[in-house]
Structure 1
Amino acid sequence: MSGEVKNINWIEEFDLLKCCVIIPTYNNEQTLVGVVEDVKAFTSNIIVVNDGSTDSTGQIIEGFVGVDVVSYSNNKGKGYAIRQGFKRALELGFHYAISLDSDGQHYAKDLPVFITNIKENPDSLLIGSRFMEGKDQPKSSGFANKFSNFWFRVETGINLPDTQSGYRLYPIKALEKKKWFCNKYEFEIEVIVRSAWKGIKVDCVPIDVYYPSQEERVTHFRPFKDFFRISVLNTILVLLAFLIYRPKLIFREFKGKSIKEIYNTHVRNSNETKGKIAAAIGFGVFMGIFPVWGYQLLIGFLLAHWFKLNKAIFFIAANISLPPMIPFILYLSYVTGSFLMGQGSWHVDTDLNIESISTNIKQYIYGAIGLSIIMGGLFFFFSYLILSLFKSSNRQNA
């Protein structure tokens, strides 16, 4: 730390930010006292959560002065302990909480890094990214971190260097109304993924880390059981990401914007090939007509993302189903269904509406599917043709 940082009164800074330190502990009698004493040099806002320890932790905690304690008899898991710490911190009026492991891995000297960064980025969730060079890191821990980083990127689109670190600053006030489901180690994955989905910025800050020798190391991570739990959670989160979060994120991006704004931002300067542009247009028209009313954009955005099509172009094209166009789409769908079912009639009642179509729902569904395929194909073909002619004309003029 620089001289300027050293001269800062960190106890006041913690109080001004309404920030505390939560230390979950389970059978860490050898290191707990040292961790708490180190933290006291920076803040007196300390909550120790005794997660059903069976060693002398209970007696050690009784000797703490000025430390808030949450304790229960049965071991529930790290996630449950952190959640109980959140609950107590909110009761005490704190807005932020820094979680710090009690095994001595984390250095209290890094607490100012979190405080400095949260002042610049309020209501963010900050993860302490561990400096691993020259450290005696277990191979399993390195693999687990890469595994976690990969799935976090899949689930949120955010690339972070260290999603496994337990040294974190949580914006607990911003997360106050969230309901959590995990109690074990997998909670640390759930909380960062669902925070990102909520729109909370998740970022990393640099910290140091201490890995004791193999003989001194104490870990409560159960390789098979806990890794299995984490794998199940990631499977669920990936499904939710592709079914709900990703489409929701795209909706949020386009919500309230005019088609002109979307075109200028996402299409005008696009480097897409003419085939990709035509495919996005054709697919947008297809989904705009396809008979899944109310879900066209939701399903379409998901598939456009899957097939790596320009979502803005898709969105503009899908607006073929705007209210003024709906009567024409219903009429053509009904007529197309008539021809597909062998009746071949262009006659439709003039009072055509959803209620009247419901009497011949099969004809409408067949027709809407057929019409969506025909129109999607036609728009793809003519878009590709026009784009080809336009680019050819530009080359000649150049």
Structure 2
Amino acid sequence: MQNEAMSGRAEKRRRGELLLVIPAYNERENLPAVISDILLSGEGIDYIVVSDGSTDGTAELCRERGWNYIELPVNLGLAGCFQTGMKYALREGYSYAAQFDGDGQHRAEDVRLLLEKMKEGEYDIVLGSRFLQKKRGGSMRELGSRLISLAIFLSTGKKLTDPTCGLRLYRKTVIEDFALRLNYGPEPDTISYLIRRGCRIAEVAVEVRERRAGESYLRPLNAAKYMARMLISILLIQYFRGGREDGRTGKG
């Protein structure tokens, strides 16, 4: 990839079958703890930080610390940033790739639970869930998550307890989708779309921590807009998405 030449760190460093794709926009303060958590989690998990046009020195920190990273020259947003990471996963031959937040909310140890579940049931996608073993609270964000769960059920017949959790694991066939054919972000509407295309999906209970530093994009107004956009997309727009050329989604 062109932007990997800029970074000089997306090299042959593969140690395992699983890659954590870490989209990062201005996460300089959070990344040291995130990378430390991954490195302390044991063998078999690789990572790639994708700095999405960061302006706070995120890429410079990755370079100084010798971390594996890709630097995007401009901000592409989550869809383009994540697709860059999935292209890297496909090129390097990983069997599994996980979306892993760069703000310290996710735990590397939980990714192993997702991987165990995926192998055990031959699933295409395994989602982390904060609510599989406990009830949602009454916050606006949790209400929005409940509405999105309902929308996914109405459009696919699949019950998901936490479709907005950002910890998601994909097997190779879905890596190929995101890398080559799906120009969409890894959001609940895309998950709904992939279910309708035949992907097998499961959830695993995980712990999600508070953001370590900085501000979340999903402040109240943005969160409301996000939820509305997801609901409209799940219930309406996804039915107009183009199908895959080779029809292999969820077929192994």
Residues 218 and 170 of structure 1, relative CA distance in 2, 3 Å threshold: same
Opposite residue 57 of structure 1, the aligned amino acid is T
In structure 1, the gaps of 5 or more residues are: 1-13, 245-398
Aligned to 1:153: 153
- 1:127 partner SS: strand
CA-to-aligned-CA distance 1:276-302 (integer Å, 9 cap, x gap): xxxxxxxxxxxxxxxxxxxxxxxxxxx
Between the aligned partners of 1:62 and 1:205, the Cα distance in structure 2 is 34
Equivalent residues in 2 for 1:1-398, closer than 5 Å: 15=16, 18-41=17-40, 42=42, 43-65=44-66, 67-130=67-130, 139-177=139-177, 179-183=181-185, 187-211=186-210, 218-221=215-218, 223-224=220-221, 227-228=224-225, 231-239=228-236
Alpha-carbon deviation of 1:138? 9.1
* In 1: Cα distance, 2:130 partner to 2:95 partner: 25
Shift of 1:211: 2.0
Change in Cα spacing, 1:241 to 1:101, as seen in structure 2 (3 Å) is closer
The CA deviation string for residues 26-77 of structure 1, in whole angstroms up to 9 with x for no partner, is: 1111111110121123345111111111112121110343x43221122222
Q: Which residue identity does 1:45 align to in structure 2?
A: D
Q: Please give the root-mean-square deviation of Cα atoms over the aligned residues, in Å.
A: 3.0
Cα distance in 1, alignment partners of residues 163 and 73 from structure 2:
30
Deviations 1:151-179 (A, max 9, x none): 11112111111000001101243451463
CA displacement at 1:101 relative to structure 2: 0.6
TM-score by length of 1: 0.50
C-alpha change, 1:99 and 1:77, in structure 2 (3 Å) is same
CA distance in 1, matches of 2:220, 2:172: 29
Note the C-alpha offset of 1:223: 4.8
Partner SS state of residue 191, structure 2: helix
Letter in 1 for 2:128: G
Conserved 8 A contact 2:22-2:50:
yes
AA aligned to 2:47 is I
Is the radius of gyration larger for structure 1 or structure 2?
A: 1
Q: CA deviation at 1:102?
A: 1.0
Q: Which SS does the other structure have where 2:173 is aligned?
A: coil
> Is residue 23–residue 49 contact of structure 1 (8 Å, CA) maintained in 2?
yes
Q: Say whether the 8 Å CA contact 2:133–2:205 is kept in structure 1.
A: no
- Higher-helix-fraction structure: 1
Structure richer in strand, relative to its length:
2
User: In the superposition, relative to structure 1, how do residues 118 and 180 fare at CA in structure 2: closer, same or farther (>3 Å)?
Assistant: same
Contact 1:192 1:202 in 2 (8 A): no
Query: Equivalents in 2 of 1:223, 1:85: separation in Å?
Result: 29
| Percent identical | 25
Deviation at 1:133, TM superposition (A): 9.1
Q: CA deviation at 1:97?
A: 0.4
Deviation at 1:226, TM superposition (A): 6.3
Deviation of 1:237 (Å): 3.5
Structure-2 change in CA distance of 1:139 and 1:45 (3 Å):
same
1:326-375 C-alpha deviation (Å, 9 max, x unpaired): xxxxxxxxxxxxxxxxxxxxxxxxxxxxxxxxxxxxxxxxxxxxxxxxxx
Partner Cα separation in structure 1 for residue 58 and residue 154 of structure 2: 39
Q: CA deviation at 1:212?
A: 5.2
- Classify 1:231/1:20 alpha carbon distance in 2 versus 1 (closer, same or farther; 3 Å): same
